[in-house]
Amino acid sequence: MCYDAATMTKKAQHYAKRYGDTNVWEQVKMSFPEMFHLNGFDEPDLPVITNEHPQEVRLHHWAFVPFVYSPQINGRPMNTLNARDDKIFTERSIYRDAAEHRRCLVMLDGFFDHHKKNGVAYPYYVQLKSGEPFFVGGLWQTFTDPKDGISIDTVTLVTGPANKEMAWIHNEPAYSPDSRMIFIVDPKDDEVWLHGTAKEVQEIIRPLPDGLLDYHPCQPIKSNKKLNRVYMGNLPGIRERKYYPELEEIQGGLF
């Protein structure tokens, strides 16, 4: 799962290497602040490239259906920040139409997750070892507020099977064949994700090969008085390595 991420913290040329030209990304960065940490539950914007406008970078509201209007499950709003790859094409899925007709690429620099040890969650920052930004497979739709008629473009991040590294980091529930991670799109599959058939899309959703991720315990991504943790906010330092004595024997990494 991915509810916390970082984006637009690198220079425009890093983004242009993968998709688009430097001027396009410079324009986005001028209107969009650097996000060293953003929480999906705050429903922020994310930079996306859609199948309908593949030459443009647009900002979409993260939460496919704003929480206040999302379907209720057992009396609580459905979480639409992520969408499981094995359910998006099913007949009753709220994502089915978007999965068939409105796919996008979401640019991230990295993301945050928690590893649990002895019942305590420790924040980790995860990025590619190359340090380059990457695209996550997304689904988008234009949502119209029933109260005021205002329309906004929204997005959800697709999750697929986890590789061993992410299954270890996100270890609750414990590792199983059902362990999940966001679907990081291989550069050679960009066009398939944007414009391929449902069958072609399902064939490219696979775990990121092991050994490509850099990850380390980082600063708290939320405050916790009991654990004496203080959230510093959207600042560069939040991604820096932090020493947690309880993790001493594993802070060197998994492999």
pLDDT of residue 29: 93
pLDDT of residue 175: 59
The Cα–Cα gap between 217 and 116 comes to: 11
pLDDT of residue 178: 76
The Cα–Cα gap between 203 and 235 comes to: 38
The Cα–Cα gap between 38 and 6 comes to: 6
| Length of the chain measured in residues | 255
pLDDT of residue 125: 98
pLDDT of residue 74: 84
Bridge partner list, 136: 106, 184
The distance in angstroms from the start CA to the end CA of the chain is 22
Burial readout 139-173 (b: 16 or more C-beta within 10 A, e: otherwise):
bbbebeeeeeeeebbbbbbbbbbbbebbbbbbeee
Give the count of beta carbons closer than 10 Å to the beta carbon of residue 184.
20
Tell me the three state secondary structure of residue 34: coil
What class does CATH assign to 4-114+127-163+174-214? alpha beta
Of 249, 246, 242, nearest to 218 by C-alpha is 242
Q: How confident is the chain (255 residues) per 10-residue block, as mean pLDDT? A: 94 94 94 96 97 96 94 88 96 96 98 94 97 98 93 97 93 74 97 97 96 97 95 97 83 48
The backbone torsions φ and ψ at residue 39, rounded to the nearest 5 degrees and listed phi first, read -105, 120
pLDDT of residue 255: 43
Q: Which amino acid is at 250?
A: I
Q: Which structure tokens are listed for 155?
A: 């997005």
